[in-house]
Amino acid sequence: MSDSPLPPVLVTRRLAPGVIERLTPSFEVTLHDDERPMDRAELLKAVHGRSAVITTLDDVVDAEFLDAAGPGLRIVANHAVGTHNIDVAACAARGVLVSNTPGVLTAATADMAWALLLAATRRLGEGERLLRSGRPWAWAPTFMLGTELAGTPLGVLGMGRIGQAVARRAAAFDMPVSYHNRTPLPAAGPDGGPRWLPLEELLAQSTVLVVTCPLTDGTRHLLDADRLALLPAGAVVVSMTAGVVDELALAAALESGALFAAAVDNFEHEPAVPAELLAQERAVLVPHLGSSTVRTRQAMGGLAVDNVLAVLAGGEPVTPVTPR
Ligand code: GLV
d(CA 136, CA 143): 13
Residue nearest atom 5 of ligand 1, based on CA coordinates: 80
Distance spanning both ends of the chain, measured CA to CA: 35
pLDDT computed for residue 179 by the predictor: 97
| Among candidate residues 278, 299, 301, 287, the one with its CA nearest the CA of residue 112 | 287
Residue nearest atom 1 of ligand 1, based on CA coordinates: 80
d(CA 324, CA 315): 22
Which domains can be identified in the chain, with CATH numbers?
8-104+294-321 (3.40.50.720), 106-285 (3.40.50.720)
Residue nearest atom 4 of ligand 1, based on CA coordinates: 82
For 54, phi and psi rounded to 5 degrees? Answer: -100, 120
Yes or no: say if 106 and 113 are a contact pair by the CB < 8 Å rule: no
CA 237 – ligand 1 centroid, Å: 19
pLDDT exceeds cutoff 60 at 146: yes
pLDDT exceeds cutoff 70 at 191: no
Confidence of residue 308 (pLDDT cuts 50, 70, 90): very high
Q: What is the mean pLDDT of the chain?
A: 96
- Letter for the amino acid at 240? M
d(CA 227, CA 212): 16
pLDDT computed for residue 306 by the predictor: 98
Yes or no: say if 282 and 261 are a contact pair by the CB < 8 Å rule: yes
Helical pair 161-170 and 106-121, crossing angle rounded to 10 deg = 50
pLDDT computed for residue 189 by the predictor: 54
Average pLDDT over residues 52-59: 98
Residue 244, Cβ density class (10 Å: 0-12 exposed, 13-18 middle, ≥19 buried): buried
Residue 31, Cβ density class (10 Å: 0-12 exposed, 13-18 middle, ≥19 buried): middle
Pairing mode, strands 195-196 and 208-211: unpaired
pLDDT computed for residue 231 by the predictor: 98
CA 288 – ligand 1 centroid, Å: 8
Strand order in the sheet with 259-264: 195-196, 177-180, 154-157, 208-211, 235-239, 259-264, 283-285
pLDDT computed for residue 4 by the predictor: 80
Q: Best of 56, 58, 81 to mutate for ligand 1, by most ligand atoms within 8 A of CB?
A: 81
pLDDT computed for residue 188 by the predictor: 64
Average pLDDT over residues 70-84: 97
Task: Give the range among 135-144, 182-191, 277-286 with minimum mean pLDDT.
Answer: 182-191
Beta bridge partners of residue 8, listed in sequence order: 28
Segment (H or E) for 31: strand 28-31
How confident is the model over 17-27, as pLDDT tens digits? 999 999 999 99
- Residue ranges around ligand 1 (CB below 6 Å): 57, 80-82, 105, 266, 290-291
For residue 271, say if its preceding peptide bond is cis, omega within 30 degrees of 0: yes
pLDDT computed for residue 103 by the predictor: 97
CA 99 – ligand 1 centroid, Å: 13
pLDDT computed for residue 193 by the predictor: 87
Pairing mode, strands 177-180 and 154-157: parallel
Indicate the pTM of the whole model: 0.95
Closest ligand 1 atom to Cα of 80:
5
Task: Give the range among 18-27, 60-69, 185-194, 254-263 with minimum mean pLDDT.
Answer: 185-194
pLDDT computed for residue 5 by the predictor: 85
How confident is the model over 204-228, as pLDDT tens digits? 999 999 999 999 999 999 999 999 9
